[in-house]
Chain A
């Protein structure tokens, strides 16, 4: 059943993606994308009003890799753990090469000596590409409901 196949692929893919970030394997994060894969984090306020501004808008593995370098080396920040809680993906369309799917996410942030808090609540709006090595992200748009950002967003969502 095609729907089940797409659902299964996207679910497994998102589980690996979340584990990569939650375990802090940030250097592997760009490899979840196609060479020209796009990653955006955008406030729902802007998304709904069709305003283009994004918190991050990275185009291609080069920019994704640069982001991780910055997180590791140049962007001074309070250390914290991340925990992704993802919903089952909603398969919008299975176009053979491309899967259009969405999934809700909660990202919980835990700083040293502090209680856990929700740092972002939103959804992924994805175009995933089927490749010989499995799915890769052609485009992932993280649209967050969270009206106020708790100070900063350092690690990818």
Chain B
């Protein structure tokens, strides 16, 4: 019988100095992907895992992911939030099967090992054996120390109701991780107000996880692919906008302000085939937008937080979108739409109506998933070849701040960081 050794593919050379030309293999190479999981998702980066509003009461839990790994978030008796890996310390069973619920402790069904909500091992059946007829049957060795067999605990940080977790406890504080350029945009939306969960979408997109970050980091496409944005002025190249990044280039904020009664003609629509002369809605309630005081200017702010979170405020619709990689070529995209506890019925209805624009069927979202699939198909077809590269040079080759949305600067920012971190 021959021994088969699984060879990891080599990582080809990135044959330019910058971050504006991305080789197709960055989306398909299995060695690259495994390094991403280790250095990004399981390394010193904060992953978004949930909202506090999803865990209002002690005992509430929610199963989710960091990278590909299953984790459980829980609200403890002292009201703190903890995160543990969903792997029993005994035989490795992934014991938590429900997506959410309320429990007193975690129980692995296989041998009934029990854990506190914070992951401390509480009970091992027959740890000291079974006494019967004057003898002791079984029992763990005398030096078996339960304290050494807790569930794997993640470091958790909560900022204004948003929960992040990291396997590496040496990770920098969340505030430093987000950085002073991004925090004002984060706090604009999440300022401590209580959130109301409106519901979830779960979408499977057959594309590499980075494509989703790039899609939101790229406001160049929004007025082109998404006719609605152009026609109704929700994001347009001629609006007052700002695209900023943190000092590393990994996170980004795109803010733009809708201007009233903009003409639909002129340079913004010239030569754009997705522009529909005379397009009008029969029912405009989906784009009936009511200004909210806290916006403080911008009518849309999209945040991309590396590696796995998109935060959306577009008009009255808000969501957090979690990127859960499944494998090198696909990810699950989990949307949680929310409002604020102080919303009246009219505002809630408005948020829900505008939600028609987003998600897997949304007027400005469904086609994002479609085109990401088209890209990944190409990457896959030439996966054994080098020489193909994606171009991200709209607005230049560097990744400095932009005052408009005709740019791909934030994609370049992310790859500048990625290349350094990945040593590629």
A-side contacts of B332, CB under 8 Å = 148
Is B201's CB within 8 Å of the partner chain A?
A: yes
The segment from A39-47, A89-97, A132-140 found at the interface with B is: A39-47
| Residue A77, interface by CB 8 Å | yes
Name A50's closest neighbour in chain B (CB-CB).
Answer: B199
Taking a contact as CB atoms under 8 Å apart, the answer to whether B370 and A152 are in contact is yes
Cα–Cα distance between A41 and B352 once the two chains are bound (Å): 13
Q: In the complex, are the beta carbons of B337 and A149 less than 8 A apart?
A: no
Which among A3-11, A60-68, A102-110 touches the partner chain? A60-68
One of B337, B366, B374 near A53 (C-beta < 8 A):
B337
- The reply to whether the CB of B355 lies closer than 8 angstroms to some CB of chain A is yes
Pair A51/B200 contact, Cβ less than 8 Å: yes
Question: How far apart sit A52 and B352, CA to CA, in the bound complex (Å)?
Answer: 8
In angstroms, how far is the closest chain B Cβ from the Cβ of A23?
21
Q: Do the beta carbons of A151 and B360 come within 8 Å of each other?
A: yes
Option from A45, A57, A62, A152 in Cβ contact (under 8 Å) with B353: A57
- Cβ contacts A52-85/B at 8 Å (1 or 0 each): 1111111111110110011001111110000000
Interface pair A53/B274, CB less than 8 Å apart: no
- The complex places the Cα of A56 from the Cα of B226 at a distance, in Å, of 17
Q: Does A150 contact B (CB under 8 A)?
A: yes
- Verify A147–B337 contact, CB threshold 8 A: no
B contact face: mostly helix, strand, loop, or mixed: mixed
Given A51, A65, A69, A153, which contacts B366 in the complex, CB threshold below 8 Å? A153
Q: Mark B343-358, 1 if CB is under 8 A from A, else 0.
A: 0000010001101100
- Chain B residue, CB-CB nearest to A42: B199
Whether A26 sits at the interface, judged by CB under 8 Å, is: no
Q: How many residues of B contact A (CB 8 A)?
A: 42
Contacts of B200 in A (CB 8 A): 43, 45-46, 51, 53
**A residues less than 8 Å from B329 (CB atoms):** none
Chain A residues within 8 Å of B279, by CB: 69, 73-74
Judge whether B91 is part of the interface by a CB distance below 8 angstroms.
no
- Chain A residues near B352 (CB-CB < 8 A): 52-54, 57
- Set B197, B204, B285: member contacting A63, Cβ < 8 A: B285
Q: Shortest Cβ distance from A65 into chain B, in angstroms?
A: 5
Contacts of B274 in A (CB 8 A): 74
Closest approach, in angstroms, between the C-beta of B256 and any C-beta of chain A?
A: 20
- Give every chain B residue within 8 A of A20 (Cβ-Cβ): none
Return chain A residues, CB-CB under 8 Å to B281: 62, 66
Query: What is the CA–CA distance of A147 and B270 in the complex, to the nearest angstrom?
Result: 42
Given contacts A51-B197, A74-B228, A77-B367, contact A153 B283 (CB under 8 A): no
Tell me if A154 is interfacial: C-beta within 8 Å of chain B: yes
Contacts of A75 in B (CB 8 A): 363, 366-367
B422 at the interface (CB under 8 A from A): no
Determine if A152 and B366 form an interchain contact, defined as CB atoms under 8 angstroms apart.
Answer: yes
Q: Name the distance in Å between B119's Cβ and chain A's nearest Cβ.
A: 26
Residues of B with C-beta under 8 A to A51: 197-200
- Hey, which chain B residues are within 8 Å of A73, CB to CB? 227, 276, 279
Flag if A53 contacts B198 (CB, 8 Å): yes
Q: Is B413 at the interface (CB under 8 A from chain A)?
A: no
Measured in the bound complex, the distance between the Cα atoms of B284 and A62 in whole Å is 9
Could you say which of A63, A70, A73 has the most chain B C-beta atoms within 10 Å of its C-beta? A70
* Known contacts A152-B360, A153-B366: A66-B99 contact under CB 8 Å: no
* Complex alpha-carbon distance, A58 and B356, angstroms: 8
Interface CB pairs A-B, < 8 A, 27: A51-B199, A51-B200, A52-B348, A53-B199, A53-B200, A53-B355, A54-B199, A54-B352, A56-B356, A57-B353, A59-B285, A59-B353, A61-B282, A62-B283, A69-B279, A70-B228, A76-B370, A148-B202, A149-B201, A149-B360, A151-B203, A151-B205, A151-B369, A152-B367, A153-B360, A153-B366, A154-B361
Known contacts A56-B356, A78-B370, A152-B370; can you find 8 more A-B pairs with CB under 8 A?
A51-B198, A51-B199, A51-B200, A57-B353, A60-B283, A75-B367, A148-B332, A153-B361
Closest 6 A/B residue pairs (Cβ): A53-B199, A62-B283, A62-B282, A51-B199, A74-B227, A46-B199
